[in-house]
Structure 1
Amino acid sequence: MKNQPIRFHKLHGAGNDFVIIDNRSDGKHARFDGKNAALIRRICDRHFGVGADGLMLISEDTDSDFQLEYYNADGFPGEMCGNGARCAVWLAHLLGVTGRQCKFIVWGENYEAEVLENQQVRLKMNPPTFSAERQNLQSLCDNRFPEMGWLNTGVPHLVVKSAENLAALDVRKFGAYFRYHPKFEPEGVNVNFVVPESEHQLNVRVYERGVENETLACGTGAVACAIYAAQQWQWQSPVRVNAVGGVLQIAFDPDFQQIYLTGPVATVFEGELNELYFQNNAVVNQ
């Protein structure tokens, strides 16, 4: 990678934005080393880099259409990112890597997706998991946050019902409080603050682990919110999740074995990390 230009694409899914690099070994591209956490942090930095909630690498896979590596903005691998995966599927389709339907792998886990009309991508999610030791969260509830629940939809999520208007909520303050709470050690948790808008429709703001800040949307978080609503409030599929950056639709069967996340994707711009960029950012390799 040293001194060779790296082509990148910046995309967003409902405002959740990502730098995606075509990392296939076809001789047409300089390859990116995902082990350089400091460089990933710099690229994702909104002042010193491209700016993004995360970075992804698309590469070949012998058993599927492509392999996807996802890294959070802190430079370290993230288990799964729903909106990021949808963006990667869209880009892979544009690059001719896949047709409208595809199968791909994220850190050894298999996923399926489909490119729909109007720049929508539908992603089939894996079934959620639950933790008995993290189901009794009553001690964390109060008048501001009267109920909450934990589940894993590819990454761990806490769904917190807010009694306050979300627009006035200090998401960074309260999100960090729950994200680092000892109850969720050692891995921490993503935090989704929800207010039901109407039956089958939720308003959501989210604090993402690895970004350590509010993001405009979170795909795995939207799925977690929908499943929580189905379990606790007996909502039926589909559930509409209104994130700050856009609308996500979650469809599911009663047993949560067939879960689909659908939402918008868009290319923001393309660019190149050239030799001058790496020279100016040499400090990140120290």
Structure 2
Amino acid sequence: MKFYKYQGTGNDFVMIDNRLGEWDDLSIEKIQKLCDRRFGIGADGLIKINSAEGVDFEVDYYNSDGSKSFCGNGARCSVAFAHFLDIIEDKTTFNAIDGIHEAEIKNGIIKLKMGDVKSIDTDGDDFVLNTGSPHYVKYVEMLNNYNVYKNGNEIRNSETYKQEGINVNFVEKLSDKELFVRTYERGVEDETYSCGTGVTAAALTFMKNNNQTFVGVKVMGGQLKVYAEKNGEGFKNIWLEGPAVQVFKGDINLDKA
């Protein structure tokens, strides 16, 4: 199988051109092995770019454990991959598990339109919302030294969220226009260097409290930007912006993976 490896602010993915349906029957077990960092290619997730009617392509995303969800950084990397494959030029519409998205690409920077967020709920002093995937947002201090794995794992596996799972974001305010976000991701069951839907969730909670339409976000793997407009109790015209890079490509023997 021919594959490509992409990363978006350190969130990394195995990318497969599946427009001919050659890998439609790729098993969950194979996906898990391909994402394994010791016995496979190694990635936070695997993405198949499929043909789709009415849009330019479909993003078929799998977490490293084989579960499915929407992934913001994965979608941005998919746009970069589709551009590399000459499926698109500078603008696109594509389908994902949570519906149709728009995106733009310019000089390696991908601006992705996220789905509208109708409301932001609270859990004590913390926030819960869905930005294509469910997210828990908790504000903390000294995030550099915070135990993201331990605390994220505890919230994700608490009685409230254990069955469905939830991504857990820890947020530190750096300034009136910048946040620092670290995320424990369900499906990966570990901290990742970046989470696009998590960054978006964190930014929206900050915007709601500060009446802003833009916030920059520092993650372990780089910098992202989020733009949004308030819409009642929620937000619309939400855009996630940042880089996506092809790291390498290769062939892998699936019989040995």
For the superposition of Structure 1 and Structure 2, which TM-score range results when normalised by the shorter chain? over 0.9
Q: Which runs of 5+ in 1 are unaligned?
A: 1-5, 139-146, 282-286
Task: From the two aligned structures, give the one with the greater strand fraction.
Answer: 2
Q: Which residue of 2 aligns with 1:24?
A: 19
For residue 215 of structure 1, what is the aligned residue in structure 2? 192
SS of equivalent to 2:213: coil
Greater share of residues in helix: 1
- Deviation of residue 186 (structure 1)? 2.5
Counterpart CA distance in 2 for 1:235 and 1:12 is 32
Q: Which residue of structure 1 lines up, in the alignment, with residue 252 of structure 2?
A: 273
Q: Secondary structure at the match of 2:39?
A: coil
Task: Report deviation, 1:34.
Answer: 5.2
Alignment pair present for 1:63 and 2:54: yes
> Which of 112, 117, 136 is the matching residue for 1:158?
136
Preserved contact between residue 98 and residue 132 of structure 2 (Cα < 8 Å): no
In structure 2, C-alpha distance between the alignment counterparts of 1:67 and 1:137, rounded to whole Å:
34
Q: Alignment partner for residue 3 of structure 2, among 2, 8, 12?
A: 8
Q: Kindly report which structure 2 residues correspond to 1:152-231, keeping only aligned pairs within 5 A, or say none.
A: 152-163=130-141, 165-231=142-208
Output one character per residue of 1:101-147: Cα deviation in whole Å (capped at 9) or x when no partner. Answer: 00000126100000022x1000001112447xxx4522xxxxxxxx3
C-alpha distance in 2 between matches for 1:199 and 1:225: 14
- Cα distance in 2 for partners of 1:279, 1:40 equals 13
Deviation by residue 1:232-278 (Cα, 9 ceiling, x = unmatched): x214121001000010100011221101000011111001123xxx3
CA contact (8 A) 1:200 1:237 kept: no
Q: Contact 1:11–1:19 (CA<8 Å) still a contact in 2?
A: yes
| SS of equivalent residue, structure 1 residue 184 | coil
Q: Secondary structure at the match of 1:207?
A: strand
Q: Please list every run of 5 or more consecutive structure 2 residues that lacks an aligned counterpart in the other structure.
A: none
SS of structure 2 residue aligned to 1:257: strand
The whole-number CA distance in structure 1 between the counterparts of 2:150 and 2:221 is 20
What letter corresponds to residue 46 of structure 1 in structure 2?
A: R
Tell me the SS of whatever aligns to 2:86. Answer: coil
Structure 1: distance between partners of 2:93 and 2:223 = 24
Measure, in 1, the Cα distance between the counterparts of 2:199 and 2:128: 13
Q: Which runs of 4+ in 1 moved over 3 A?
A: none
Following TM superposition, by how much is the alpha carbon of 1:82 offset from its aligned partner in structure 2, in angstroms? 0.4
Verify: 1:149 aligned to 2:144, yes or no: no
| Equivalent position SS for 2:135 | strand
Partner of 1:98: 88
Identity %: 40
C-alpha RMSD of matched pairs (Å) = 1.4
